[in-house]
Structure 1
Amino acid sequence: MAPTPEESTLLQALRNGDEAAFALLVDRYHGQLLRLAMAFVASRAIAEEVVQETWIGVLEGLARFEGRSSLKTWIFRILTNQAKTRGVRESRTVPFSPLGNDDADKPSVDPTRFLTSGYFVDHWASPPTPWDEATPERLLLSKECGQRLEQAIEALPPAQRQVLVLRDVDGLSSEEVCNVLALSETNQRVLLHRARSRVRRALERYLEGDASTP
């Protein structure tokens, strides 16, 4: 995905040393980069340092940027490279696994939730809790639910967390995520499905009042 016309204009301004253009870039992507960095390293402080190193890398690499991807994808790829390098140096992060092998053999949905006999075998025995029930009680719990959601995301295996953050939090397309994390489309899809399933299970337990269940 090549740079958009707006990105091309911004890129030219950056290459001309336009400080306002750089400030715009930082304002637009800093938060997203920090979230992604925290999916790679062990603390917010280290993540902040990784993001700062990323911006330095952006400035130093502007002249070499060939436009084979969008400017956004290029910046995020610099971040992932910086984060992986820093993680290895700090020895505080799990190496990235393309298929998330830490639970590769586990089903995305608990098998006990499906019927094992009868006419409706393999159908839901315990269907998922609906997420669109905007009852007053649910609305009052929305802030705490958001906190539970953050905890569920933080508890994901690193590879799943990275894909989920990029897709569902930062809104990158599947193509962009594949480029940023150097994944195949199939691997990206599998990781995203597993991540969403795990987060959904965690929120279901919370909404059902069983937040203590692992």
Structure 2
Amino acid sequence: MKKAVEERVEPATSSFQWIERIRQGDREAFAPLFEKYRSRLGVLIYYGLSVQLRGLIEVDDILQETFLRAFKEFDQFTYQAPGSFFRWLARISNNVIVDTARHHGRQKRQAAELLRFRSESNPEGPEPVDSMTPSRLLAHHEGLRRLLSDLDALPDDYRRVILLSRIEGLSTAEVAETLGKTREATALLLHRAIKKLRQTREARGSG
């Protein structure tokens, strides 16, 4: 699995080719496109959940619901620039978190409502994003778990600058504005944070 924090925002842009395939009717291209952003989105979801909800809700459940909504609402997406698809997914995942928190503890949805993946009764639905092989699925879960553990071990300011820059994909100027720092101070903070994260991952053998 690629290291989410090592990736900048997508280059110009392989995602655009996947998006065009989907627009031309190849709906099966959506699953590999979503998979490309799964780790980054998983980190964003984890830190978007309150501490209480983290103990009650699985990140993968939010990922699956995000996948379903994005698939259903894909016609509403407008490609603007590299990174725009991830930002769109992030907004959807945030809405899913809000809805999940609002409805948590209430009566569970009926099974018919949850049966939205492709099946005999729903041939137009998407393939489950977890249709990868068991070994790949296990590797994803373990890799994401270790990454979250390593991020949790960082000081708050280090973790936040990494989330803003490497996960959300904000520019240095945007991160600086968010943090209320100069661009130079932000760049230095990010450099130190990435260095500390690498040291943490190497020490734990998760690099």
Q: TM (normalized to structure 2)?
A: 0.47
Given the two structures, how large is their TM-score scaled by the length of structure 1?
A: 0.46
